[in-house]
Amino acid sequence: MELGYLTKAGHYVEVDSFGRRTICKALRIDESKKSTEFLGVSRSIEALGQVQVTVWLHRNGWANPGERILGRSRARLYRTRTGHYVLGGSWRRIKGMTADAYYWRPRPSVWAPFLWRGKFPDKATKLFPPGRKRPFVLRFLDQTVTGSRREGRIVELLGFELKDFSQFVIGKLSAELEFEDEASAESFAKSFPVADDRGKLDTAVSVDVGRDKRLAATRREKLTLASCISSIIGIPSLIALLTIALHLPSSDTLPLLEISTVLAVLAIPSVFRYRRRLRSEIRDLRMKWPTEYFRRWTSQFPLRSGALIATLKELNVTLDPTMIDMRPLQNFLQRLPPDTFFGALALDISGYLAHAFLQIVGRGARFNWRPEVGTAEPVLVLDEAYLSINFLNKVRNIWISKGKEELDHWLWNGARVAEDRLALQPIALGFMKEVNQLPQLHDDLRNAIPISLSKQQRMGEHIYRVTWIRKSPFDIAWTEIEKPPPGWGLATIAAIPFCSDTKTLEGKLEASSPRSPSREDLAIVRFKSNDLVPLGVLLHNYLEVGPAYVKRSDQLELKIIAAVEEAQVVTPRMRDLQSQVRESIGPKNMGQGIPMDSQAAFMGRIVSISETANPFTGIPLWRIGIDFSGFNLDVLVRKDKCGGNPQPGLFLAGTLWLVGDLLPSEPSPPSEYIG
């Protein structure tokens, strides 16, 4: 339930109970043609007759007396498919509008639509004050009316006020409609639930902001306000007193008195505006809007997609939720005039795009929503991919700026970036100086793919392409799979780094579970001399050996590289202080008794040290031979991430992950690669 008025062109300007005016050129009402137009879709409205209407704001709930914000006025009542309009009288019947128009004149007089960025095309003076005879509008959707009560020809409606057409409640209103006869009143009241107990309705509907008019000012702000008031009153009074006390000629002091009085009168609106800013309700609104609404919106994501599809269907835009096809949506936004931007709808469209984006990425990608710095607008963030996307900016770009980039391609490109970066997790071996350089690494690797050796291979019903991006002895095996629409034809499923300068170890597959249930290319191996604990090994050459490796019961030979991102050198004395800790290596993440990934926690005795470097970045590495009570393993550790100076006889502790090339022994039957 909201108040407003119509401009000369018939566009709706919302006037909330805080006195803020917001233009909504998405909605146009043509009373002469008995029609409304919302975002280019015209619908007829049905006239229900003449009424006398009065509107109150209930700051302390409907059970308590209200504050009149629309004086009793004669108007015309209309019905739409989902609500009602009351038009008539003059816009000046809304509380405070006359003073704003002809005396106080605060700036800006009319605000741009919710979530609009930049300068609005129409000047504020064109929208306010409107023409002298322009009508006020009482607009209420039937769903915002919580109860009604009829006494003879008078029907009282209890409803709540929404901020900028969103689901953010800023007030409880009541509207009294007096009909010309009881029959009309009775027929109208049947459309709404009966309000038997106002107290129960108050508990059922919560207002998202406090509506306390009292000042909530700091001591400094109170002193500022007091000094302004004192200056306005005191300076003219002081001049008058000095004139009388000192018997000064009035001809000399009168001009000064007149100037100071005029300046004081002109300053009065500024004082009132400053005092209004200090009211508790204004401060509460600034603190919660739109931050709280954005937080609520993200908590309901993606459940709002269904409601959006129904809304767009009413606007003659058909979206198929089973197909990610954004062409109907893009065509709809492209043909809308920029000044019809409607923030609440744009936000829901951005959520629909985000939902489609996550569907394309797949993999159960972990995400969250974070407020954008400065605007608090919700931004979708994939931390593991170091990727953040403001989908609302894209909607604005198409709706307002008429961006030409195809929305489908934009989504596909963004999803491919996310797929690539997620496939690069985890990656060590010094391919990045810092983990937040993942975007730069991704761009470098993408640029290297066209000039690198590639191979296509069919496995089961799928076709894979693996590209080896090499700078000997280091390489990254970039694996992609052909997939059906939506999106591009190839999706990255794995990007596994490796160093061919390594040792060959022997071991056997875990008999009860030879591979991880989470991914097919993670072998569970019991290594020779360390067969008490199974370890996960990510197979760098899985497409070559295929899924048949799980059937092997013979002794395996694996070229193993153990990459350590961070490690700590431990002295023998420190190691002896922790008698319960022995030289060992074991899986870091276990599930149902088997390793869930290729990470392993370790502490072992250093037996050899040499140096190398990653040729992609030049980052220096330690190659450290470690003995785990008879099980020897070479690990690569970044020098700048190694705590202490490694030396033979000392100990090294940390977390590593194992990648290996399994030497094939037999051809593999077809199977799907699980990334």
Mean pLDDT of all residues in 521-540? 92
Q: At what angle do helices 343-361 and 407-423 cross, to 10 degrees?
A: 50
**Contact call for residues 324 and 411 (beta carbons, < 8 A):** yes
Query: What integer pLDDT is reported at residue 673 of this predicted model?
Result: 44
Same domain, 459 and 396: no
Same domain, 395 and 348: yes
Query: What integer pLDDT is reported at residue 59 of this predicted model?
Result: 93
- Residue 218 banded pLDDT, cuts 50, 70, 90: confident
Please indicate, yes or no, if residue 613 is contained in any of the structural domains: yes
Please indicate, yes or no, if residue 98 is contained in any of the structural domains: yes
Query: What integer pLDDT is reported at residue 153 of this predicted model?
Result: 94
Query: What integer pLDDT is reported at residue 363 of this predicted model?
Result: 73
Q: Is 228 exposed, middle or buried (0-12, 13-18, 19+ CB in 10 A)?
A: middle
Length of the chain: 675
Alpha-carbon 594 to chain mean position: 37
Amino acid (one-letter) located at 420: D
Please enumerate in sequence order all residues whose Cβ is within 8 A of that of 266, keeping only pairs 6 or more positions apart, or say none: none
**Contact call for residues 388 and 370 (beta carbons, < 8 A):** yes
Spatial separation of the C-alpha atoms in residues 285 and 79, rounded to whole Å:
32
- Residue 276 banded pLDDT, cuts 50, 70, 90: confident
Mean pLDDT of all residues in 114-120? 91
Please indicate, yes or no, if residue 210 is contained in any of the structural domains: no
Query: What integer pLDDT is reported at residue 433 of this predicted model?
Result: 75
- Residue 666 banded pLDDT, cuts 50, 70, 90: low
Range of the domain at 574: 500-662
Same domain, 9 and 131: yes
Query: What integer pLDDT is reported at residue 106 of this predicted model?
Result: 52
Query: What integer pLDDT is reported at residue 580 of this predicted model?
Result: 64
Taking only the tens place, the pLDDT of each residue in 395-410 is 999 999 999 899 999 9
Query: What integer pLDDT is reported at residue 102 of this predicted model?
Result: 59
Please indicate, yes or no, if residue 429 is contained in any of the structural domains: no
Spatial separation of the C-alpha atoms in residues 661 and 467, rounded to whole Å:
16
Query: What integer pLDDT is reported at residue 70 of this predicted model?
Result: 94
Taking only the tens place, the pLDDT of each residue in 25-69 is 999 999 999 999 999 999 999 999 999 999 999 999 999 999 999
Query: What integer pLDDT is reported at residue 428 of this predicted model?
Result: 63
Query: What integer pLDDT is reported at residue 607 of this predicted model?
Result: 95
Same domain, 373 and 489: no
Same domain, 492 and 465: yes
Q: Is 165 exposed, middle or buried (0-12, 13-18, 19+ CB in 10 A)?
A: buried
> 247 or 340: whose pLDDT is higher?
340
Same domain, 527 and 543: yes
Same domain, 522 and 442: no
Please indicate, yes or no, if residue 444 is contained in any of the structural domains: yes
Query: What integer pLDDT is reported at residue 14 of this predicted model?
Result: 95
3-state secondary structure 165-210: CCCCEEEEEEEEEEECCHHHHHHHHCCCCECCCHHHHHHHCCCCCC
Q: Tell me whether strands 631-638 and 556-570 are parallel, antiparallel or unpaired.
A: parallel
DSSP state of 629: T
Query: What integer pLDDT is reported at residue 236 of this predicted model?
Result: 79
Tokens representing residue 502 in the block: 């390594």
Taking only the tens place, the pLDDT of each residue in 439-490 is 888 888 888 888 888 888 888 788 999 999 999 899 899 999 988 877 788 8
315 has a pLDDT exceeding 50: yes
Same domain, 41 and 176: yes
Q: Which helix (H) or strand (E) holds 419?
A: helix 407-423
Query: What integer pLDDT is reported at residue 407 of this predicted model?
Result: 93
Same domain, 571 and 635: yes
Query: What integer pLDDT is reported at residue 426 of this predicted model?
Result: 61
Last residue of a domain, one of 392, 421, 450: 421
Amino acid (one-letter) located at 593: G
Same domain, 184 and 53: yes
- Residue 103 banded pLDDT, cuts 50, 70, 90: low
Number of domains in the chain: 5
Last residue of a domain, one of 204, 238, 254: 204
What percentage of residues in the chain have a pLDDT greater than 90?
52
Mean pLDDT of all residues in 15-34? 93
671 has a pLDDT exceeding 70: no
Please indicate, yes or no, if residue 428 is contained in any of the structural domains: no
How many separate helices (H) and strands (E) can be counted in the chain? 16, 31
Spatial separation of the C-alpha atoms in residues 142 and 159, rounded to whole Å:
9
